[in-house]
């Protein structure tokens, strides 16, 4: 049997069962409760990094049953895009089990890992956090590309162009062109012009501006990666489907982007872990993605480094790496900002959880990723150092280290320190960190070495 192709997906988006969005939300909530109960999936706060393979496999089976029941909701047509269980299994079997990115000496193959693998993870460096000027944008991209372990990068989004806030599609288009020119020049300065960008097109939040800025005359090649967002839980719109059609026709890499919410329609960490895996299946069947970029957010604390979010990301990552083998990059939103010890504790806990669970990493997202200019290359360098040190680490050991790190920051999440802006942590002329931030970085690295993280 052939997998369901994208044109068939579009036909189902206009001919599938018709329901209101409210009815779909209720269906998700109800079916999720049923599969969590049926497979006896339970959150254990004493084991933020689970090491029970049967738990991971049960989460995968629950996600398979759940997605076959609910499907994907198209918000514009108010119809459900549904797949049979056989179609889902066929789609997963025929999914691309590796991805190809970059050009020249930066061309690489992204191969999925397994839990506790000794292979170093794919390191996706940077974040799409907004910055206030082209100067800071350029310095950040050069800093990210100068990290030798970087396999790919996310470039920041520009918040302003000539003092005008970038909020609407026409301005987004011009902002995206400025952003691309800045990124390309910074990559050349770093000596890595072929390094792939996998968060295209940051600065263009609307799909129409993203498609326009991706036209060949603006210099992008299909060896980069374009993110297509879906919405909690298991929803997509016609604009996103249109972007997918454009990218598939070009042969470009599509990255499914999603973030299930603890405290939303997926309920607690157990349901959120199941929905995370269902999103991965959706990304393969509906979005025809070649890679995925995903995280989990606790809606109360507005970050991903709470104990329940770490557990949900760990168990869903293990479920995917053991049963699907697909290129997935996971990351966390940290509560604290740059130049604080708390940020580095949160980063370390997240990187260790992801790597031990068998996934690839994206680096730090400080200050809940919502503050303009609150991001620097130093926490990105710290992220990849932790990720490489954690390769081959047993999940039992990862669990003990993450528990110790949680004790250092968990009680401060609600009142986390905001930290400092790039221009307060780095010299704008030299692109070097301040002595204060370097001291914090060195002190935390020593602490982490003392609790068992094997830095090279």
As a whole number of angstroms, the distance between CA 102 and CA 195 comes to: 5
What's the pLDDT at 83?
Answer: 98
Alpha-helical regions (H) of 235-373: 238-250, 269-285, 307-323, 341-356
Among the listed residues 86, 103, 75, 84, the one whose alpha carbon sits nearest the alpha carbon of residue 1:
86
What is the token pair recorded at 423?
């221009």
What is the full DSSP assignment across 59-125?
Answer: HHHHHHHHHHHH-EEETTTTEEE---HHHHHHHHHTS-SSEEE--GGG-EEE----TT-SSPPPEEE
What does the DSSP 8-state code read for residue 131?
E
pLDDT in tens, the chain (456 residues): 568 999 999 999 999 999 999 999 999 999 999 999 999 999 999 999 999 999 999 999 999 999 999 999 999 999 999 999 999 999 999 999 999 999 999 999 999 999 999 999 999 999 999 999 999 999 999 999 999 999 999 999 999 998 899 988 889 999 999 999 999 999 999 999 999 999 999 899 899 999 999 998 999 999 999 999 999 999 999 999 999 999 999 999 999 999 999 999 999 999 999 999 999 999 999 999 999 999 999 999 999 999 999 999 999 999 999 999 999 999 999 999 999 999 999 999 999 999 999 999 999 999 999 999 999 999 999 999 999 999 999 999 999 999 999 999 999 999 999 999 999 999 999 999 999 999 999 999 999 999 999 987
What is the token pair recorded at 400?
């003990």
What's the pLDDT at 168?
Answer: 84
What's the pLDDT at 455?
Answer: 87
Q: Are 339 and 310 in contact (CB under 8 A)?
A: no
What is the token pair recorded at 293?
């970029």
Give the residue carrying structure tokens 């890499």: 253
Among the listed residues 29, 126, 42, the one whose alpha carbon sits nearest the alpha carbon of residue 69:
29
What's the pLDDT at 162?
Answer: 87
As a whole number of angstroms, the distance between CA 382 and CA 113 comes to: 21
- E-strand ranges in 343-447 read 360-362
What's the pLDDT at 86?
Answer: 96
Q: Are 382 and 364 in contact (CB under 8 A)?
A: yes
As a whole number of angstroms, the distance between CA 396 and CA 392 comes to: 12
What's the pLDDT at 3?
Answer: 82
The pTM score is 0.96
């Amino acid at each position: 049997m052939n997998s369901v192709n994208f044109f068939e997906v579009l036909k189902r988006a206009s001919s599938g069962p018709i329901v209101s969005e409210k009815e779909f939300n209720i269906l998700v909530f109800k079916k999720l409760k049923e599969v969590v109960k049926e497979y006896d999936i339970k959150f254990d706060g004493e084991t933020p990094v689970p090491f029970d393979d049967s738990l991971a496999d049960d989460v995968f089976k629950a996600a398979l049953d759940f997605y076959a029941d609910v499907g994907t909701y198209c918000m514009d047509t108010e119809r459900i895009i549904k797949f049979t269980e056989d179609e889902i299994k066929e789609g997963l079997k025929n999914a691309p089990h590796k991805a190809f990115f970059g050009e020249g000496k930066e061309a690489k193959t992204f191969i999925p890992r397994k839990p506790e693998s000794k292979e170093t993870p794919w390191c996706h460096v940077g974040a799409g956090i907004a910055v206030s000027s082209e100067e800071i944008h350029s310095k950040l991209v050069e800093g990210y590309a100068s990290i030798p372990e970087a396999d790919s990068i996310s470039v920041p989004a520009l918040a302003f162009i000539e003092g005008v806030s970038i909020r609407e599609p026409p301005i987004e288009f011009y902002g995206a062109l400025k952003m691309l020119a800045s990124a390309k020049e910074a990559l050349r300065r770093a000596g890595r012009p072929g390094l792939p960008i996998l968060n295209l097109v940051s600065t263009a939040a609307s799909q129409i501006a993203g498609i326009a800025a991706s036209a060949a005359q603006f210099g992008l090649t299909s060896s980069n990666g374009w993110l297509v967002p879906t919405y909690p839980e298991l929803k997509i719109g016609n604009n996103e489907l249109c972007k997918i059609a454009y990218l598939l026709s070009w042969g470009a890499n599509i990255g499914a982007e999603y973030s299930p919410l603890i405290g939303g329609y997926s309920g607690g960490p157990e349901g959120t872990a199941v929905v995370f895996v269902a999103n991965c299946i959706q990304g393969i069947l509906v979005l025809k993605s070649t890679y995925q970029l995903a995280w989990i957010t606790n809606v109360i604390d507005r970050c991903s480094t709470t104990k329940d979010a770490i557990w949900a990301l760990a168990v869903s990552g293990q479920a995917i790496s053991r049963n699907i083998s697909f290129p997935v990059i996971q990351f966390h939103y940290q509560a604290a900002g740059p130049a604080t010890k708390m940020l580095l504790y949160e980063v370390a806990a997240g990187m260790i959880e992801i790597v031990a669970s068998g996934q690839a990493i994206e680096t730090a997202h400080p200050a809940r990723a919502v503050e303009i200019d609150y991001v620097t290359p130093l926490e990105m360098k710290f992220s990849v150092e932790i990720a490489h040190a954690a390769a081959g680490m047993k999940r039992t050991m990862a669990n003990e280290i993450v528990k110790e790190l949680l004790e250092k920051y968990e009680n401060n999440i609600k009142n986390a320190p905001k930290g400092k802006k790039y221009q307060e942590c780095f010299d704008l002329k030299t692109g070097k960190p301040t002595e204060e931030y370097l001291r914090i970085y060195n002190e935390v690295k020593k602490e982490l070495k003392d609790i068992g993280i094997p830095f090279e």
